[in-house]
A and B are shown apart, each in its own frame.
Chain A
Amino acid sequence: MSKLTVLRLTLKALVFVLGAAAAAVGLAAFFMPGLADSFSFVRRLEATLGNDYLLVASVSAVALLLGLVFAFRGRAGTVQQAETPDAEGVESVPAPGDDFDELVGEAKGWRSREKKEEVRERVREAAVDVVASEENCSRPEAERYVDTGTWTADRYASSFLGGRDAPQLPLLTRLRVAYGGSPFETAATRAVEEVYERAKEDEDV
């Protein structure tokens, strides 16, 4: 038991003992009027305060103050109870690729350059693979195709993945896309879709 608990418990015991004693005395004074006279300090207190009403009133004042303290300690915020789980819900697992969508969502802002790079890298890897398999060429060759943007006719996709050599989107298009939503997200989506289409074609062949 901690020191604080011991202190609290002794205090409580003390209060109880004093209260019981006071009750005993008070009740005794009722039935044995003679006893009352032995507590002359009460009369003296009454004389100091004025009259008997003020005497009991001062006790009540103390009671009221104590009541304020207890009211604060007994406010609704102090009630505690256990937390129960939400049994109706389902723990669902993500679908493959949901992490990419989340990444794109995070990369959309104007501050997240590294995330944008990460997105680009991932799509680029996939694009290079698809191109290499489709054209049946080596990886460095496929990388060249992707960097120069010659792997696809889709301007969004090629400009998203391309390096300096790739054709850029015309300014008007870029403005239009920026107005409609995130240009990064649009370009990434188009690029992935393009890669996906090509991969599907390759498979069916």
Chain B
Amino acid sequence: MSRRPTFLSGLLAVVAATAATAAVAETVVMAAGVAAAGVGFVVVVAGATLARSRSRVLGAVFVLAGLGAAAGGAAAGAVFADDTLQAAILAPGLVGAFFVTLGVAPLRGTGSRRLIKVASWLVFLGPVLSAGMKYTEPTNIIDMARVLGATVAAALVWDLGENSVSLGRHVGRKATTFWNETVHGVGSVLVGAVSAGGAYVAFGFGTGGQPLEGVFFLLIAIVLLVAFLHS
């Protein structure tokens, strides 16, 4: 019946994907384009909900309008880009946001975790590519904040999106889930904020001149410890 992904988390997952992409946009115009696309995606999700609960026609209108806005925003961003490379960096994130929309709207049935997983990987690329291409020497805190913030948002895409689908399968869209989603979301955001903060602090120590052996062992340590944390 109504086991569709819950509205709040699903919407926030779309917003997170959009925010992650917009955060690493080079110019304001491109960021605005991405934001417009994001708004379009949100409208699509709202339309899909309307179509199934209240009015098919109105819902369809919303969906089409949203898709149009998304396409428009993406196109505008691409057209007004100073640099094709910069636009290319934003592409995976936009596609990711689109996939989240599909997974959460939902396109079919009870939503798709798979789509959301792929979306989170795509959105992950945004800050990585951006930091790779542009920030060879991260100078100010703002640039670092943008990249780190975009990374946290990418994690939230998966967390909130998957929670939306999971809650939907457990209790459905009609049920009240506000506090559940809120508490869960706050926890995830806090973890991200702490990790990003820790990264920033650690960066302070990471100025050059380390002996190679130290770096070598530390890298190995990191790989081993991450492997330990797995599953």
A-to-B contact residues, CB < 8 Å: 12, 15-16, 18-23, 25-30, 33, 35-36, 39, 42-43, 46, 52, 55-56, 59-60, 62-63, 66, 70-71, 73-77, 79, 81-82, 84, 86, 88-89
Q: Which residue of B lies closest to A28 (CB)?
A: B214
B-to-A contact residues, CB < 8 Å: 1, 112-114, 116-118, 121, 162, 166, 169-171, 210-228, 230-231
Instruction: Point out the residue from B169, B170, B211, B216 that lies within 8 Å of A56, measured CB to CB.
Output: B216
Given contacts A16-B225, A29-B211, A77-B113, 9 further A-B contacts (CB under 8 A): A23-B221, A23-B222, A26-B217, A26-B220, A43-B212, A74-B231, A76-B112, A76-B118, A81-B166
Q: Which residue of A lies closest to B217 (CB)?
A: A26
- Chain A residues with CB under 8 Å of B1's CB are 86, 88-89
Q: Is the CB of B213 within 8 A of A39?
A: yes
Instruction: Point out the residue from A19, A33, A75 that lies within 8 Å of B224, measured CB to CB.
Output: A19
In Å, the complex CA distance between A66 and B117 comes to 19
Q: Is the CB of A62 within 8 A of B223?
A: yes
Q: Is the CB of B231 within 8 A of A73?
A: yes
Q: Is the CB of A30 within 8 A of B225?
A: no
Q: List 22 A-B contacts (CB under 8 A).
A: A16-B224, A22-B224, A23-B218, A23-B221, A25-B217, A26-B213, A26-B218, A26-B219, A33-B211, A42-B212, A52-B212, A56-B215, A63-B219, A66-B227, A70-B230, A75-B114, A76-B114, A77-B114, A79-B162, A82-B170, A84-B170, A88-B1
In Å, the complex CA distance between A25 and B211 comes to 12
Q: Is the CB of A36 within 8 A of B219?
A: no
Nearest CB on A from B38, distance (A): 23
Q: A59-B216, A76-B116, A86-B1 are in contact. Are A36 and B211 (CB under 8 A)?
A: yes
Interface of A, helix, strand, loop or mixed by DSSP: helix
- Chain B residues with CB under 8 Å of A33's CB are 211
Q: Is the CB of B217 within 8 A of A22?
A: yes
In Å, the complex CA distance between A29 and B1 comes to 61
Instruction: Point out the residue from B162, B166, B213, B223 that lies within 8 Å of A29, measured CB to CB.
Output: B213
- Chain B residues with CB under 8 Å of A52's CB are 212
In Å, the complex CA distance between A71 and B124 comes to 13
Instruction: Point out the residue from B117, B216, B226 that lies within 8 Å of A76, measured CB to CB.
Output: B117
- Chain B residues with CB under 8 Å of A25's CB are 217, 221
In Å, the complex CA distance between A39 and B213 comes to 7
Q: Which residue of B lies closest to A22 (CB)?
A: B221
Nearest CB on A from B105, distance (A): 17
- Chain A residues with CB under 8 Å of B225's CB are 16, 19-20, 23
In Å, the complex CA distance between A26 and B162 comes to 37
Q: Is the CB of A19 within 8 A of B228?
A: yes
Q: Is the CB of B170 within 8 A of A81?
A: yes
In Å, the complex CA distance between A41 and B113 comes to 46
Q: Is the CB of B214 within 8 A of A18?
A: no
- Chain B residues with CB under 8 Å of A59's CB are 216, 219-220, 223
Q: Which residue of B lies closest to A15 (CB)?
A: B228
Q: Is the CB of A26 within 8 A of B215?
A: yes
Q: A42-B213, A60-B219 are in contact. Are A12 and B117 (CB under 8 A)?
A: no
Q: Which residue of A lies closest to B215 (CB)?
A: A56
Nearest CB on B from A63, distance (A): 5
In Å, the complex CA distance between A75 and B223 comes to 20
In Å, the complex CA distance between A19 and B222 comes to 7
Q: Which residue of A lies closest to B117 (CB)?
A: A76
In Å, the complex CA distance between A81 and B220 comes to 34
Q: A30-B214, A36-B211, A70-B230 are in contact. Are A20 and B113 (CB under 8 A)?
A: no
In Å, the complex CA distance between A77 and B116 comes to 11
In Å, the complex CA distance between A33 and B222 comes to 21
